[in-house]
Amino acid sequence: MGHLFHLVGPPASGKRTIGLKLSALTGAVLLDNHLFNDAVFRPYGADGLRPIPEEIHALAAQVRTLGLEAARLAPRDVSQIFTSHLTNRPAGAAALKLVRDLAAARNAQYVPVWLECSLNELERRLPLPERLELAKLRDPVILRATLEASGTLPAPPDALQIETTALAPADAALLIAAHGGALF
C-alpha cells in the first residue's frame, strides 16, 4: 500500500522543502502545488510580487484536475506527497476532500500534515533566493492580506501538526515519515 502525504500550510511554511526531504527519505513522489500552478503561472509571467488574477487561478485549477487524475491512475505501490495552502474558505475544504478522496480511491494511507509557522518567520523567508527562482510569493503585504482574508483551513482531527518556525526540514520529514509508518 502506498502513502499519500498531504502537507498543508501557509506560503513559506516549508511545504516544498520538507516535501523534498520526505521524498528522499521515503521514495514518495513530490507533487508540489507549484508543479501544477507553474504550468500556467510561468507563461502568465508570475514573479511572486504581483497578484495573480482569478482567470489564471482558474486555468491552474484545470491543470491540477489533470494532475490529480494522473495521480489516481498511479500504481498502488507509488507513494505521493501533495503540498497545499488550503484557505479557510469553502474551496479549501473542497480541496482537502479531493486529496482525501484521491487517497481512498488509490487505497493509499492518507497522512494529513498541517505546518504552522510564525508570521515573522514567514516574512523572513519570503525573499530567500529559492523563492525567487520558483516565482513563489515574495511580497509580505500580499502574504499578510491573504492570511488575514482567508487564513489557513483548521487542521482536521487526524492531522499531524508541526511547528516549522525553528524545526529543520529534515527533522520535520522524519516526524512525518514516522507518523505515517513510512520509514522504509
Q: Are 59 and 39 in contact (CB under 8 A)?
A: no
Q: Are 146 and 122 in contact (CB under 8 A)?
A: no
**Is the residue at 184 inside a domain?**
no
Rounded Cα distance, 24 and 170, in Å: 10
Helix axes 33-44 and 54-72, enclosed angle (nearest 10): 140
φ and ψ at 74, to 5 degrees? -65, 150
**Is the residue at 134 inside a domain?**
yes
**Is the residue at 155 inside a domain?**
yes
List the Cα angle 77/79/85 in 5-degree steps: 155
**Is the residue at 65 inside a domain?**
yes
37-83 pLDDT, tens digit each: 999 999 999 888 888 999 999 999 999 999 999 999 999 999 999 99
**Is the residue at 59 inside a domain?**
yes
DSSP string over 17-30: HHHHHHHHHH-PEE
Domain that holds residue 148: 3-179
Number of domains making up the chain: 1
Q: What is the pLDDT along the chain (184 residues), one digit of tens a residue?
A: 799 999 999 999 999 999 999 999 999 999 999 899 999 999 999 888 888 999 999 999 999 999 999 999 999 999 999 999 999 999 999 999 999 999 999 999 999 999 999 999 999 999 999 888 888 999 999 999 999 999 999 999 999 999 999 999 999 999 999 998 866 5
**Is the residue at 133 inside a domain?**
yes
Average pLDDT taken over every residue of the chain: 94
Structure confidence at residue 183 (pLDDT): 64
CATH of residue 168's domain is 3.40.50.300
